[in-house]
Amino acid sequence: MRKQDDLMRGGIGFTSERTRERLIQRMREEGVTNERVLDVIRLTPRHLFVDEALAHRAYEDTALPIGHNQTISQPFIVAHMSERLLEAGPLDKVLEIGTGSGYQTAILAQLVERVFSVERIKVLQDRAKERLAALNLRNVVFRWGDGWEGWPALAPYNGIIVTAVASEVPQALLDQLAPGGRMVIPVGAVGEVQQLMLIVREEHGFSRRVLASVRFVPLLHGPLA
């Protein structure tokens, strides 16, 4: 654990412990209460998930560009989504759609047993893979593909998290949710008010609840080399 701690603190000289603590404080004020989620966010070096030129802004509570018209999610949203996903108890298999920088992936990897992460842009996926390996997070498997299809071969999942906005909830993802499983997904159109939804697979059918208004980049179609 010593070694893992050191890795997670990677470059802590760069961003003081106080800067990170301020971010955690802000999340508490915005209503995040899950202490495990807050701990993991405090310990995860977000500056390693953005370009060096933006590293000094990594602990601001804001989304930042990661190239290819994509963004690393806002830390509060990452915390909020993780917290809602874990609300009903521990999860062993989580499917993530939209790896992006790998930041949300890294947070989840420390909170659940196994993460299966799908990304359509190969170069983003490659970089995310390197970052997670450098942080010694080994319980993540990556797939280059179209998240609209999920990852059927390894279904069902107890949790599904989607980090890009979908025009409608993809049927494949509903199909791949285990009984009692939970999905957190933004639904709506780009440039309009989008709703972060929590969908739970009940004994008969699905329950749906709106969690918040959000702004995400779109869930697009097809993989991209």
* Residues designated catalytic: 73
Residue of closest CB approach to ligand SAH: 100
What gap in Å lies between CA 211 and CA 196, rounded to an integer? 5
Residue (27 or 118) nearer to ligand SAH, CB: 118
Least separation in angstroms between CB 101 and ligand SAH: 3
Is the bond leading into 156 cis (omega within 30 degrees of zero)?
A: yes
What gap in Å lies between CA 89 and CA 12, rounded to an integer? 31
Least separation in angstroms between CB 39 and ligand SAH: 19
Least separation in angstroms between CB 197 and ligand SAH: 17
What gap in Å lies between CA 176 and CA 156, rounded to an integer? 5
Least separation in angstroms between CB 30 and ligand SAH: 18
Residue (109 or 124) nearer to ligand SAH, CB: 124
User: Given the rule CB under 6 A, which residues bind ligand SAH?
Assistant: 66, 70-73, 97-98, 100-101, 103-104, 118-121, 124, 146-148, 163-164, 217, 219-220
Residue (140 or 202) nearer to ligand SAH, CB: 140
Residue 67 CB neighbour total at 10 angstroms: 14
What gap in Å lies between CA 45 and CA 11, rounded to an integer? 8
Residue (147 or 159) nearer to ligand SAH, CB: 147
Least separation in angstroms between CB 203 and ligand SAH: 30
Pairing mode, strands 206-214 and 177-187: unpaired
Alpha carbons within 13 angstroms on the beta-carbon side of residue 211 total: 24
Residue (38 or 106) nearer to ligand SAH, CB: 106
